[in-house]
Amino acid sequence: MNESPKTGENSFRNILKSTSIFGGVQVFNILISAIRLKFVAMILGPAGMGIAGLFTTVSTTIQQFASLGLNLAIVKEVGQSKDDESRLADILAAIRPMILLSAILGALICMLFPSLLSSLTFGNPSFTGSFMLLSGAVFFSIAGAALMSVLQGLHAIKPLSKATLVGSIIGLIVGVPLYWLLGINGIVPALVVLAFSTCAWYFMSLMNTLKVSASQWHKEIHLPLLKRVLSMGMILISNDLFLSLVNYLVNVYIRCYGGMDEVGFFQSCNTMTSQYSAIVFTAMAMDYLPRLSAVSGDNKRMCEAVNRQMEVVGLLIAPIACAVIFLAPFVIRILQTEKFLIATPLLRLLALAVVVRALMYPLGYIVFAKDNRKLFFWMESVGANLLTLILTCGGYHLFGLNGLGYAAIIDCMVCLCVYIVVNHHLYGYKLTPTAFRIMILSLASGIAMTILCFTLQGMILNVIGVIFLSILSAVSVKMLWTRIKS
């Protein structure tokens, strides 16, 4: 049955409702992360931020490799079976040993190769002990992410959000004193505390949410389920692993040619842009993909879903990104320290790149929803990540810190154009005139605000910036309200 534009799952009303629910959860998490980031910046400084960023990048890369791409595969399997208790019990039985084994594998990598990881990351083996301790953070992060995936598949929004928030608060309360007492040596213990507290709350939330227990293992029943989850996971891990590897190589490249302070500047700007954009991107990751998958068999309905998502995302992200571009020095003073003000132009450029990335994401999900595994691997895992690596390193080599921002903008623009062309050729996707106008409005507003901030200063910039941002926000709200009523 075709859905009504007004009442269907992909209606503007439901898209905005889902975005507000998931976005609201992210706002609270962002506040906690911002407080933690502020303390890290004050206590450790730019160099300490750089070291913390490298440890986090290494940890994430190992997690992506060891988790075998299970997380999103678990979300899909659990989500399809959440109303069938018998099948859900079989799925839990199939994935339980893989969760434990993947967490142990990640921990073993840190335990067995600490000196190598220290030398590759920092150029010397002085952090060997820290990498051995990092095994605890990797273990609990992998286990926690898997537990979170089960909650996400069950659509247990309240327990999921509460567990995430409580875990972050505990990590803040316990982690910050470690920075204060131990300095740089407290970075890895703080990561362990954060990973453990989050994992523990996910586990307790899952136990309180699940109405069924994992069934007893039967090879004939559970092995096919496990193979299907692993098959899907191996496709997903290719992209996640390549992405983490690229981030790792970029950070090491900056450390080698610019020093640890510049790694810290880059990491802090990435963290700040990721925090505010997560309000929109998390909603897409948790809500948009299931809706798109449900209509992926019908190209017409799929195109309608994509264009509606692009309209909503474009209208939401434009004023948010422009506010960050305009208020960049203020944001840095609040979330960092004045030492980080040198990175103000980079933060503005990365905020502009987020506008393009937000418009790109709804298109990027099409290939995955269509289960086109070969194209997903070559376009997303290989092509997109190779492009990011080349542009980022090249941009930094030519233009320094600002080159990282230029590279991010070009990278996203190229991917946006490729997605439009590929999806049109394979699935008949076309931008509607309305979606195209909103895309142009979002891009033009971001570019205009960036030019204003790079060419003006003082009271003139403040007056024009406030007027520009007010008009853009009013236009976005009016257009969103019109779509809700239509």
Mean pLDDT by 10 residues, the chain (486 residues): 46 58 65 75 80 84 81 73 75 83 93 91 88 94 88 73 74 82 88 87 83 68 74 73 84 88 87 76 66 77 88 89 94 82 94 93 83 82 91 94 95 94 91 93 96 93 95 91 76
CA atoms of 423 and 414, how far apart (whole Å): 14
What CA–CA distance (Å, rounded) separates 385 from 476?
32
Predicted TM-score (pTM) of the model is 0.72
**Would you state the pLDDT for residue 3?**
46
Q: How far apart are CA 268 and CA 276, in angstroms?
A: 13
C-alpha to C-alpha distances, 10 to 2, 3, 289, 299, 442, nearest whole angstrom: 11, 8, 11, 14, 21
Burial class (CB in 10 A: 0-12, 13-18, 19+), 175: buried
Terminal alpha carbon distance of the chain: 21
The rounded distance, in Å, linking the Cα atoms of 132 and 448 is: 48
Q: Which amino acid, one-letter code, is at 84?
A: D
> How many Cβ atoms sit within 10 Å of the Cβ of residue 188?
26
pLDDT at 150: 84
Encoded tokens for 463: 């007056």
Give the C-alpha distances (Å, rounded to integers) separating 384 from 16, 119, 218, 369, 424. Answer: 29, 28, 41, 18, 18
Q: Whole-angstrom Cα distance, residue 113 to residue 191?
A: 19
CB atoms within 10 A of CB 177: 14
Q: Which of 242, 25, 53, 64 has its CA nearest to residue 146?
A: 64
> What pLDDT does residue 462 have?
93
Q: What is the pLDDT of residue 381?
A: 82
Distance (Å, whole) CA 251 – CA 57 = 8
Conformational region of residue 3, where left means phi above 0, alpha means psi within -120 to 50, and beta covers everything else: beta
Burial track 457-473 (b if 16+ CB lie within 10 A, e otherwise):
eeeeeeeebeebbeebe
CA distance 94 to 84: 15
Distance CA(148)–CA(128), nearest Å, equals 30
Output the pLDDT for position 486: 65
Give CA–CA dist 102/100, Å, rounded.
Answer: 6
Which region holds residue 11: left if phi is over 0, alpha if psi is between -120 and 50, else beta?
beta
The pLDDT, as a whole number, for residue 148 is 85
Angle of CA points 202, 205, 206, to nearest 5°: 85
Structure tokens at 477: 């709200």
- Among the listed residues 242, 263, 285, 274, the one whose alpha carbon sits nearest the alpha carbon of residue 387: 242
Cβ count near 480 (within 10 Å):
16
